[in-house]
Structure 1
Amino acid sequence: MRIWFIGAYGIVSTTAMAGGKLIEQGRIDTTGLVSSLPQFEGIEKYAPLNFEFGGHEVRKADNAYVAALQHWEQNRHFEKEHLEEVRSELEQIRASRGTAINCGSGVQALGELDILENEKKTLAEIVEQLEKDLKSFADDDTVVINSASTEPLLNYSEKYHGSLDGFEEMIENDVKEHASASILYAYVALKNRIPYGNFTPSAGSSIPALKELAIEKKVPHAGNDGKTGETLVKTTLAPMFAYRNLKVLGWMSYNILGDLDGLVLSHRENKESKVISKDKVLEKIYGYSPFSITQIEYFPSLVDNKTAFDFIHFQGFMGTQMKFYFIWDAIDAIVAAPLTIDIARFLLFAKKKGLYGVIKEMGFFFKSPMDTNNVNTHSQFVELVEWFRENI
């Protein structure tokens, strides 16, 4: 299968590329891949574990190996020998110049950018170039995964985002103030009948216009915001209190992270959509809103280690108040990268089974799954398994 990454030189994408090639060559096992669990036996017929990678990127780097090496030198997040084992394959992956339109001031923190030429173009010209790049790579086994940095909240317009006609009018009339990179990438993918997975909290394919396009083109899509760390624990642990009829009075989540993700999220406008995505899950699980504090802070020396400190204040029998604490400390790219491969495999499976529109049963992978309020990890996993077994 072929995976086209938006944000191709990021640490998640390059880790997925390296890991995918290592799996293909039998050098590592499939630990971390949900799609390799026994419950999903048979998926390999539709989405085999062999890969070609490409993508769009806004940062300058010679190829995916150079980008991966830069990340490795900062993080040492896997054995160096693994990177060298797939060096020749990664050196052949050269990302196309992308767009960072309306991606906020945080994107400037990524370093030297290669976007000036594209940003001078009209929306129609940007879309034309993105489409040309993608079509030069894509075949019937291609999936687009957005793993780029988080954008600011979309400047939503019912006129331009509420219908496909309005969206295409926005492009035709070059109404840039209502555009963003993620919705343009999603538009190009869906327009060309290529499944799209949004691993970010950015708008992506979640607006009505693009949901309409996915139905019209009969293409599957899923998102938003990969559930990899503190929110994964939160949505797994939070149901326990509900099952035991314990009332959660308050939940504090304090997240610290470094690397480029943390640097981008240190900018308020880029952080806002991420906080919203993490903060809404409690209300969806409990049906009420406990007092909640969700903070995300940049901590440079942590690089790709994301550490979260959570404090839960809850009430039990006879009104007695009690406390629960946990700390999550994980290397973000290592927990995130395999999920991007999983999402691509399930979307390709959906396409080959003739399924289209929002694949809400893939909500297991996301903090803010589209078209469903179920964020309970336990029942989400059951939904995913049942959906797969019904369609295999």
Structure 2
Amino acid sequence: MKIWYVGAYGIVSTTAMLGGKLIEKGRMETTGLVSELPQFEGIEKYAPLKFEFGGHEVRKVENAYVASLQHWELNRHFELDQLEEVREDLEKIRAEKGTAINCGKGVQALGELDVLENEVQTLSEIVERLERDVKRFADSETVMINSASTEPIIRYNEKYHDTLDGFEKMIEENAKEYASASMLYAYVALKNGIPYGNFTPSVGSSLPALKELAIEKKVPHAGNDGKTGETLVKTTLAPMFAYRNLKVLGWMSYNILGDLDGLVLSHKENKESKVISKDKVLEKIYGYSPFSITQIEYFPSLADNKTAFDFIHFEGFLGRKMKFYFIWDAIDAIVAAPLTIDIARFLLFAKKEGMYGVIKEMGFFFKSPMETRNVNTHSQFEELVRWYQENA
């Protein structure tokens, strides 16, 4: 199978490429891959663990090996001999120049960007270049995964975002203030029949216009915002209080992280959509909104170690107030990277079984799954298993 990563040289994408190639060579176990659980037996017929990777990138880096080495030097999140074992494979992966249009000050903080908007003037030209790159790589086995940095919340415009005709008019009229990189990538993927998974909180394919395009072209898509760490624990633990009829009075989540993700999210406009994505899950689970504090802070020395401190205040029998605490400490790329492969595999499965539009049964993988309010990890997993087994 082929995976086209938006943000190809980021730590999540490069870790997925490294792991994918090691698995392909039989040099690594499949621990961390949901799609390799016994419940999903037979998925290799649809999406074998043999990979070709490509993508778009906005930073100046020579190839995926160099990018992986840079991330390793900061994080030591895998063994160096693992990287050297697939060095030749990664050196062949050279990302195409992407767009960072309306990606905010956070992305600008990554340094000098090598982006299409430095070369061309209009949205039409940007889309044309993105489409050319993708079509040169893609075939019927291709999925696009957006693992780029989080964008600011885009200003919604009914004229351009509600219908496919309107969206294409936005491109034609060069209405740049209403466009963002993630929606342009999603448009290119869906227009060309390529399943699209949005691993970020950015708008991606969630616009009504792009949902319309997915239906018209009969393409599956899913998102948004990969559920990998603190929110995974929150949506697994929170139902326990509901099952026991305990009232959650308040939930504080304090997240600290470093690396490029933390740097981008240290800017308020980029952070906003991430906080919203993390914060809404409690209301969806309980049907009421406990007092909540959700903070994300940049802590440079942590590198890719993401640490979260959670405090839950709850009320039990006889009105007694009690407390629960937990700490999540994990290497973000290690928990996130395999999920991007899972999402690609399930989307390819969906395509080959003739499913299209939003695949809401894949909500298990996302903080803010489209077209469903179910964020309960337990029932999401059951839904994923049932969907797969009924259609395989």
TM-score by length of 1: 0.99
User: Retained in 2: the 8 A contact 1:235–1:376?
Assistant: yes
User: Retained in 1: the 8 A contact 2:98–2:116?
Assistant: no
User: Retained in 2: the 8 A contact 1:99–1:118?
Assistant: no
For the residues of structure 2 that align with 1:239 and 1:116, how far apart are their CA atoms? 45
Residues 329-356 of structure 1: per-residue CA shift (max 9 Å, x gap):
0000000000000000000000000000
User: Retained in 2: the 8 A contact 1:238–1:282?
Assistant: yes
User: Retained in 1: the 8 A contact 2:97–2:116?
Assistant: no
User: Retained in 1: the 8 A contact 2:117–2:126?
Assistant: no
For the residues of structure 1 that align with 2:151 and 2:116, how far apart are their CA atoms? 18
2:289 is the counterpart of 1:295: no
For the residues of structure 1 that align with 2:167 and 2:204, how far apart are their CA atoms? 13
- How far the C-alpha of 1:218 sits from its partner, in A, is 0.1
For the residues of structure 2 that align with 1:65 and 1:44, how far apart are their CA atoms? 27
2:267 is the counterpart of 1:267: yes
Q: Tell me which residue corresponds to 1:173.
A: 173
- How far the C-alpha of 1:133 sits from its partner, in A, is 0.2
SS at 2:4's partner residue?
Answer: strand
What amino acid maps onto 1:4 in structure 2? W
User: Retained in 2: the 8 A contact 1:256–1:299?
Assistant: yes
Q: Tell me which residue corresponds to 1:78.
A: 78
User: Retained in 1: the 8 A contact 2:24–2:50?
Assistant: yes
User: Retained in 2: the 8 A contact 1:265–1:271?
Assistant: yes
Q: Tell me which residue corresponds to 1:205.
A: 205
2:344 is the counterpart of 1:348: no
> In 2 relative to 1, CA 322–328 (structure 1 residues): closer, same or farther, beyond 3 Å?
same
- How far the C-alpha of 1:116 sits from its partner, in A, is 5.7
SS at 2:112's partner residue?
Answer: coil
User: Retained in 1: the 8 A contact 2:252–2:294?
Assistant: yes
Residues 16-74 of structure 1: per-residue CA shift (max 9 Å, x gap):
00000000000000000000000000000000000000000000000000000000000
Q: Tell me which residue corresponds to 1:7.
A: 7
**Residues 36-55 of structure 1 mapped to structure 2, 5 A cutoff:** 36-55=36-55
**Residues 165-244 of structure 1 mapped to structure 2, 5 A cutoff:** 165-244=165-244
SS at 1:254's partner residue?
Answer: strand
Give structure 1 stretches of 5+ with no counterpart. none
**Residues 1-392 of structure 1 mapped to structure 2, 5 A cutoff:** 1-115=1-115, 117-118=117-118, 120-392=120-392
For the residues of structure 2 that align with 1:10 and 1:135, how far apart are their CA atoms? 22
- How far the C-alpha of 1:155 sits from its partner, in A, is 1.1
For the residues of structure 2 that align with 1:159 and 1:86, how far apart are their CA atoms? 48
For the residues of structure 1 that align with 2:246 and 2:368, how far apart are their CA atoms? 24
For the residues of structure 2 that align with 1:53 and 1:331, how far apart are their CA atoms? 23
Residues 100-142 of structure 1: per-residue CA shift (max 9 Å, x gap):
0000011112123111654642000000000000000000000
For the residues of structure 2 that align with 1:110 and 1:130, how far apart are their CA atoms? 21
For the residues of structure 1 that align with 2:218 and 2:116, how far apart are their CA atoms? 34
What amino acid maps onto 1:231 in structure 2? T
For the residues of structure 1 that align with 2:99 and 2:75, how far apart are their CA atoms? 27
Percentage of pairs with the same residue? 84
User: Retained in 2: the 8 A contact 1:109–1:260?
Assistant: no
Residues 299-343 of structure 1: per-residue CA shift (max 9 Å, x gap):
000000000000000000000000000000000000000000000
For the residues of structure 1 that align with 2:203 and 2:40, how far apart are their CA atoms? 29
Aligned length: 392
User: Retained in 2: the 8 A contact 1:101–1:119?
Assistant: no
Residues 177-229 of structure 1: per-residue CA shift (max 9 Å, x gap):
00000000000000000000000000000010000000000000000000000
For the residues of structure 1 that align with 2:253 and 2:109, how far apart are their CA atoms? 25
For the residues of structure 2 that align with 1:221 and 1:74, how far apart are their CA atoms? 33
SS at 2:50's partner residue?
Answer: coil
User: Retained in 2: the 8 A contact 1:350–1:356?
Assistant: yes
For the residues of structure 2 that align with 1:278 and 1:99, how far apart are their CA atoms? 26
Give structure 2 stretches of 5+ with no counterpart. none
What amino acid maps onto 1:18 in structure 2? L
What amino acid maps onto 1:352 in structure 2? K
For the residues of structure 1 that align with 2:160 and 2:68, how far apart are their CA atoms? 38
For the residues of structure 1 that align with 2:87 and 2:115, how far apart are their CA atoms? 26
For the residues of structure 2 that align with 1:277 and 1:380, how far apart are their CA atoms? 17
